[in-house]
Amino acid sequence: MILKKTILTYGTFDMFHIGHLRLLERLSALGDRLIVGVSTDEFNAIKGKKTLIPYDQRAAIVRAIKGVDLVIPENTWEQKPQDIKNYHVDAFAMGDDWAGKFDFLKEFCEVIYLPRTEDISSTELKKALDAFLLENSIEL
Ligand code: CTP
């Protein structure tokens, strides 16, 4: 029997950008199956995060990325151990803005933090969009 390595990650993936793409590419290269938990709009509201793009569209974009095998909704902070068990996850991985924050999952699987791509984030894109609209006197 050939054992396959399953990787699990979570994120909001609003205004999908090159940092997201690079992270998913590197995660896909770490194993044989990549599962991505995309934060729902309701969960983002709990986190105090407002997205420009609704959950269904963010999930559809992530699902369409080469190397992503399955997208699941991320509804709560607490679901990770259960997801790791349900999907027989071997490694949980996130960008290193989360370094150390998920070490408690080491009792369930390997925990990996990957370097972020510099100088881009959804937050920065939103700021740039605000500035662009202002500069060009565009009202939405
Ligand atoms: N990520 C990355 N490089 C970036 C931005 C994000 O590797 N430049 C990674 C994060 O570390 C995370 C995943 O992409 O593992 C999803 O991150 P998310 O929070 O959705 O993206 P951000 O652009 O960081 O969003 P925000 O500005 O709202 O925090």
Q: Give the residue ranges of the chain where pLDDT is below 70.
A: 1
The residue among 65, 69, 83 whose CA lies nearest residue 17 is 65
SS3 12: coil
As a whole number of angstroms, the distance between CA 120 and CA 108 comes to 31
- Structure tokens of 44? 């983002």
**Each residue's pLDDT tens digit, 71-87:** 999 999 999 999 999 99
Superfamily name and number for 6-135: HUPs (3.40.50.620)
- Could you give the residue ranges of the DSSP H alpha helices within 2-137? 18-30, 41-47, 55-63, 80-86, 122-135
Q: Can you give the pLDDT at residue 140?
A: 77
Q: What spacing in Å lies between the alpha carbon of 11 and ligand 1's midpoint?
A: 7
Q: What spacing in Å lies between the alpha carbon of 97 and ligand 1's midpoint?
A: 8
| Atom number of ligand 1 nearest to Cα 119 | 8
Q: Can you give the pLDDT at residue 1?
A: 66
Write the residue with the smallest CA distance to atom 14 of ligand 1. Answer: 20
Q: Can you give the pLDDT at residue 93?
A: 98
Report whether residue 117 contacts ligand 1, using a CB cutoff of 6 Å. yes
